[in-house]
A and B are shown apart, each in its own frame.
Chain A
Amino acid sequence: MPATSKATRDQSHARVFDLDVMSLRELNQALHNLTPGSNETAWEVLNPKGNHSVAVGVDQPVTIDVRGSVGYYCGGMNSGSTITVHGSAGPGVGENMMSGSIIIKGDASQYAGATGRGGLLVIEGNASSRCGISMKGIDIVVRGNIGHMSAFMAQSGNLVVLGDAGDALGDSIYEARLFVRGKVGSLGADCIAKEMRPEHLELLQGLLDRAGITGVKPTEFKRYGSARTLYNFNIDNADAY
C-alpha cells in the first residue's frame, strides 16, 4: 500500500494528513514526492501536537495549513511553499528557508528564521530570543516583540518588529536591515541606529504589505544596521567583542 494512501481530502479538495493517524515520515515523503505542475496544491495537516520537522524541505509551490502548534524546525529549508501554522511554533521555525512564506498565527520560540536565505516569515505573535540569527536574505515580520540576541551575525535580509526588541539586538551584524517600532533593550556590538531614508520607508512599506499588516506607518519605525567597524579585525576593537 502506498505510504500516502491514508491521506484524505476535505471539501475544498485539500489533501488532509492527520498526524494522529499517519506518521511525520509519511507526511514529509508525500510532500517531497510532489512534482512541478502537480494538481495537489493544497494541503492540510491535522493534530501536529508539537511534532518536530513538520513540512520540512518542501520544494513545490503548494499551500500547507497546519491546524495546531508545531515543535522544532517547522518549514525548515522551505523552497517555495506557503505554510500557515494555526498555532504556535517551536524553535527554528523556517530555518534556512530559501523562498516561499511561512505564517505563524501564534508565537514563535527561539531562532525563528535562523540562517534563512529568502522568502517571508511572518509571526503574528511574539518571537523569542535569537530571532533572525545569522539570517542570509530572508524577510521576517513580527507583529509582537522579539527576545534578546535577535539578528545576531545577521548577514542579509530584513527584520521588521512592530513591538519591542530585547537586549543585544543585531550583535555583530553584517548587512541585514532591522526595523523596530517599539523600544530596543540594547544594541549589540557594531549595531547602530541609522537614518531612515525614503528608500527604506518604501522598502518597509512593501514588507508590511507582504505581511498583510495595515494601519501601521513606516515612519513609526527606527532603522538599525551595521556600523561596519568590525568588518576587518583590528586589535584596538578587541574590547567590543
Chain B
Amino acid sequence: MTYKNPPTTPRKSATFDDYTLSEIRRAAATGIYDIRGGGAKRKLPHFDDLLFLGASISRYPLEGYRERCDTSVVLGSRHAKKPIELKIPITIAGMSFGSLSGPAKEALGRGATLAGTSTTTGDGGMTEEERGHSKTLVYQYLPSRYGMNPRDLRRADAIEVVVGQGAKPGGGGMLLGQKISDRVAEMRTLPKGIDQRSASRHPDWTGPDDLEIKILELREITDWEKPIYVKVGGARPYYDTALAVKAGADVVVVDGMQGGTAATQEVFIENVGQPTLACIRPAVQALQDLGMHRKVQLIVSGGIRNGADVAKALALGVDAVSIGTAALVALGDNDPRWEAEYNELGTTAGAYDDWHEGRDPAGITTQDPELMKRVDPVAAGRRLANYLKVMTLEAQTIARACGKNSLHNLEPEDLVALTIEAAAMAGVPLAGTNWIPGKNGF
C-alpha cells in the first residue's frame, strides 16, 4: 500500500473573496462601476449590538398593554408657527416619484396616514398621489430642485432641506433614462429617455452661513408656518448637527450609511460615511452642547427595522426615526413571490438592489405601466400601516419593561453594548462592565 500525501484543503483568500473576484471580473468585462441601491451591505456595528437592561429591583416596569406609554412627537416647535404632531416617532423617508412608481408613492402616503405619521417627497417633486393621500407630507428641497415650486412649498406640512444622504454623503445621483417616462420628464423639465443627474450640492448656496440665509428665504416664502428640517448624510454628525442648528433648522435629520433607497456606486455606498449607530451620540451631543436637545428635534435613519431599533435610537436621544428600505419591503419589495423574475434578472428575492434600473418585479421602483400595476396602493398602504403599528407596539413593550411611560423617556442608562465598538459608538457600557470606551480617559 502506497502512502498518499494528504492534500491541503483549497483555501480562498479572505481579501480576494468570491464577491470581490466576481466584481473584478464584472468590471473587466463591462468597463463600468456597479451602481445599486440597498445601502451598506457589509456587517456594521448596529442596534443589534445593544441590549436593554429592563426592570430590576431598582427600576420597576409598567404594566404591558395597561399602563399608557406615549408615542407621540412634535416636530418643528422651535420656529414654525405650525409644528407637526405625529402619533408615532417613525416617519417615512424621502423617496422620489420617478424612482418610485405613482402607486407606490400613494401607498406610502396611505400607510403613513393610517399610522399617524408623515411621509416625504423626494428628488422629483410633489405628486398629487402623495399629497392627496398623505395627511402630513414633508417636501424635500434638493440640489436638483426638480419640480420645485412655491405652491407645493406652501401646501407641504414641512420642508426638508437635503444636504446629503447616508448612502452617499457628498454624492449626487442619476436617474437612468429608462425610468424617464413622459410624466417624470415633464416634472423634471428634461427630455424623455435621457439620464437625469441630481446635483451633489445646491445651486444657490454653499456653507452654513448661506444655509441660514436660504432657510430664511424658505421661511419668508411660507410665512414662517412650516417646520424646516435639514437632512445630512452621516459624515460629521457633531458638526453638521451644530451647523444645522446654527443655520436655524427646526429639525435635523441624520442618515447613516445603511440608508438604502439612494442608488449610487457600490464603492461609494460601502466606503463613504458612517454607520447609523456611530452618528447618533455625536448628533445628540451637539444638541446638548448647544442647549437645544428636545428643542431642535433629531431624526435618525438608516437601517431601522423593528421596534427594538426604534427604542434604542430613542434611548440614545433621538426624537424620531425614519424608514425607507423597510417601508418598501412592507409594500412588497423583494418578496419571494417574484423569485422567478428576480432569477431572470440575475438575483434573488432579498438581494435585489437594482431599483434604479426600473425593472422591479414588485412594481415599486419602476415606471413600467405593467409592472406598477402589481402595487395595489390600498392593500400596500395597509401593510405599511400594519408594519408601523407593530414597530410601535414593540418599542412600547420595551419602554414599559424599562419603566417608561413615554418612548421619549428611554435613556442611555437603559442600554448596554455587546461589543467594544458598539459601546464606544453608543456611549453606553460594555455589557457586564461599567466601561464606556473613550470615556474618563479609557
Question: Chain A, 104-120, contact with B by CB distance < 8 Å: what is the 0/1 string?
Answer: 00000011001101000
Other-chain contact of B204, A32, A56, A92, A175 (Cβ < 8 Å): A92
How many of A's residues come within 8 Å of B, CB to CB? 43
Task: Flag if B191 contacts A174 (CB, 8 Å).
Answer: yes
Q: Given A115-B148, A136-B189, A175-B190: A57 and B204 within 8 A (CB)?
A: no
Cβ-based interface call for B344 (8 A): no
Other-chain contact of A52, B145, B195, B197, B217 (Cβ < 8 Å): B217
Report B190-208 residues with CB < 8 Å from chain A CB: 190-191, 194-195, 197, 199, 203-205
Task: Flag if A96 contacts B189 (CB, 8 Å).
Answer: no
Cβ-based interface call for B289 (8 A): no
Could you tell me the distance between the alpha carbons of A168 and B252 in the complex, rounded to whole angstroms?
35
Could you tell me the distance between the alpha carbons of A134 and B194 in the complex, rounded to whole angstroms?
16
Cβ-based interface call for B174 (8 A): yes
Q: Which residues of A contact B205 (CB under 8 A)?
A: 91-92, 111
Task: Flag if A59 contacts B150 (CB, 8 Å).
Answer: yes
Task: Flag if B189 contacts A153 (CB, 8 Å).
Answer: no
Q: Which residues of A contact B220 (CB under 8 A)?
A: 24-25, 28, 53, 56-57
Report A55-86 residues with CB < 8 Å from chain B CB: 56-57, 59, 71-73, 76-77, 79
CB proximity of A31 to chain B, nearest CB, Å:
10
Q: Given A77-B150, A175-B190, A235-B32: A29 and B204 within 8 A (CB)?
A: no
Cβ-based interface call for B379 (8 A): no
Q: Which residues of A contact B195 (CB under 8 A)?
A: 231-233
Cβ-based interface call for A133 (8 A): yes
Report B75-115 residues with CB < 8 Å from chain A CB: none
Q: Given A28-B223, A91-B204: A98 and B217 within 8 A (CB)?
A: no
Could you tell me the distance between the alpha carbons of A72 and B221 in the complex, rounded to whole angstroms?
14
Q: Which residues of A contact B223 (CB under 8 A)?
A: 28-29, 32
Cβ-based interface call for A172 (8 A): yes
Report B205-253 residues with CB < 8 Å from chain A CB: 205, 210, 213-214, 216-217, 220-224
Question: Chain B, 138-158, contact with A by CB distance < 8 Å: what is the 0/1 string?
Answer: 000000110011100100000
Q: Given A52-B217, A98-B150: A134 and B144 within 8 A (CB)?
A: yes
Cβ-based interface call for A130 (8 A): yes
Q: Who on chain A is nearest to B32 by CB? A: A235
Task: Flag if A56 contacts B190 (CB, 8 Å).
Answer: no
Cβ-based interface call for B177 (8 A): yes
Q: Which residues of B contact A114 (CB under 8 A)?
A: 203-204
Q: Who on chain B is nearest to A54 by CB? A: B220
Q: Which residues of A contact B222 (CB under 8 A)?
A: 57
Could you tell me the distance between the alpha carbons of A56 and B224 in the complex, rounded to whole angstroms?
13
CB proximity of A152 to chain B, nearest CB, Å:
8
CB proximity of B243 to chain A, nearest CB, Å:
18
Task: Flag if B190 contacts A73 (CB, 8 Å).
Answer: no
Q: Which residues of A contact B189 (CB under 8 A)?
A: 117, 136-137, 155-156
CB proximity of B357 to chain A, nearest CB, Å:
13
Q: Which residues of A contact B32 (CB under 8 A)?
A: 233, 235
Q: Who on chain B is nearest to A132 by CB? A: B203
Other-chain contact of A95, B149, B188, B199, B204 (Cβ < 8 Å): B204
Q: Which residues of B contact A155 (CB under 8 A)?
A: 188-190
Task: Flag if B217 contacts A76 (CB, 8 Å).
Answer: yes
Cβ-based interface call for B291 (8 A): no
Could you tell me the distance between the alpha carbons of A55 and B62 in the complex, rounded to whole angstroms?
54
Q: Which residues of B contact A235 (CB under 8 A)?
A: 30-32
Q: Which residues of B contact A134 (CB under 8 A)?
A: 144-145, 199, 203
Q: Which residues of B contact A91 (CB under 8 A)?
A: 204-205, 210
Task: Flag if A111 contacts B190 (CB, 8 Å).
Answer: no
Could you tell me the distance between the alpha carbons of A95 and B214 in the complex, rounded to whole angstroms?
11
Task: Flag if A53 contacts B217 (CB, 8 Å).
Answer: yes
Could you tell me the distance between the alpha carbons of A174 and B216 in the complex, rounded to whole angstroms?
30
Report A1-34 residues with CB < 8 Å from chain B CB: 24-25, 28-29, 32
Q: Which residues of A contact B177 (CB under 8 A)?
A: 231-232
Report B9-33 residues with CB < 8 Å from chain A CB: 30-32
Could you tell me the distance between the alpha carbons of A5 and B125 in the complex, rounded to whole angstroms?
37
Could you tell me the distance between the alpha carbons of A133 and B143 in the complex, rounded to whole angstroms?
11
CB proximity of A203 to chain B, nearest CB, Å:
18
Task: Flag if B191 contacts A175 (CB, 8 Å).
Answer: yes
Most A C-beta atoms less than 10 A away, residue of B203, B204, B221: B204
Report A127-171 residues with CB < 8 Å from chain B CB: 130, 133-134, 136-137, 152-153, 155-156
Task: Flag if B221 contacts A111 (CB, 8 Å).
Answer: no
Q: Which residues of B contact A115 (CB under 8 A)?
A: 145, 148, 203-204
Q: Who on chain B is nearest to A155 by CB? A: B189
Q: Which 4 A-B residue pairings sit nearest by Cβ, starting from the closest?
A: A57-B221, A231-B194, A111-B204, A92-B204
**Apart from the given pairs A91-B204, A96-B150, 15 other A-B contacts in the complex at a CB distance below 8 Å:** A29-B223, A72-B213, A73-B213, A76-B217, A95-B204, A114-B203, A115-B145, A117-B189, A134-B144, A153-B203, A155-B190, A156-B190, A174-B190, A231-B195, A233-B32
Can you list 6 A-B contacts (CB < 8 A)? A24-B220, A57-B150, A73-B213, A77-B149, A134-B203, A233-B176
